Amino acid sequence: MNLDYRSLSWRLGLICVVTVVFQIAAVSQVKIFGLNADLVPLVAASVGLILGSLPGAIFGFAIGMLLDLALVETVGVASLILLAIGFAAGRLRELRDPQGAIVPLLVGAAATAAAQAGFLVLTFLLGQPVPFGWALLWDLLGTVAVNAAIAIPVFLVVRRCLIAALPEDPRRRRRRAYTTGGLSPLSRS
């Protein structure tokens, strides 16, 4: 396995900065049924699904710290939540190696629900007011639904950005060898 760490680091750093800037400048300004999409947990989960638990956790921490610093909020809250999301998505990849097309949607919905619940709990534990009621439930479930709708395109964009810096998958190489013209042992007469 020949992994280009320098290229991967630059790509992850660029994804981190672009995601936070795009979230703050554009996505948070667009409302769908009074709800905003939240790209940050989707990107952290996508990196975890693509690279594994340790890179997912490091990326989650970095993007959370950048988000906290950019929004001038309590430093470490988003970092802690996104670290856990990146790690959990990476562990799912390492333990189960999910290959289904719907996996990014399910992981994106779970990551969004975990992020929303985590922010809610940490806000409450820090002594800040939390509005309980139907509005909170609508916001929580609506954000999960909106993020589930955009989870697969976000995963595909992140994978497209990282794929050049990753080693080739041996399963893909093996499959390709048997699908090309005369390399299959079954085609010999």
Three-class SS of 122-188: HHHHCCCCCCCCHHHHHHHHHHHHHHHHHHHHHHHHHHHHHHHHCCCCHHHHHHHHHHCHHHCHHHC
Judged by phi (left if over 0) then psi (alpha if -120 to 50, else beta), residue 34 lies in: left
CATH number of the domain encompassing residue 16: 1.10.1760
Beta bridge pairs of residue 35: 32
Per-residue pLDDT of the chain (189 residues; tens, 9 = 90+): 456 678 888 999 999 999 999 999 988 888 888 888 899 999 999 999 999 899 999 999 999 999 999 998 888 899 999 999 999 999 998 898 778 888 999 999 999 999 999 989 998 898 888 787 887 888 889 999 999 999 999 999 999 999 888 876 554 544 444 555 555 556 555
3-state SS assignment for residue 78: helix
**What Cα–Cα distance (Å) separates residue 161 from each residue in 27, 99, 155, 164?**
20, 19, 10, 7
Nearest in space to 15 (alpha carbons), one of 157, 186, 112: 157
DSSP 8: H
Q: Answer whether 40's CB lies under 8 Å from 82's CB.
A: yes
3-state SS assignment for residue 36: coil
Find the domain containing 28 and state its range. 5-187
Number of folded domains that form the chain: 1
Question: What pLDDT is stored for residue 31 in this prediction?
Answer: 84
Which residues are within 8 A (CB) of 73 and not within 5 positions of it... i.e. 6 or more apart? none
This prediction's pTM: 0.83
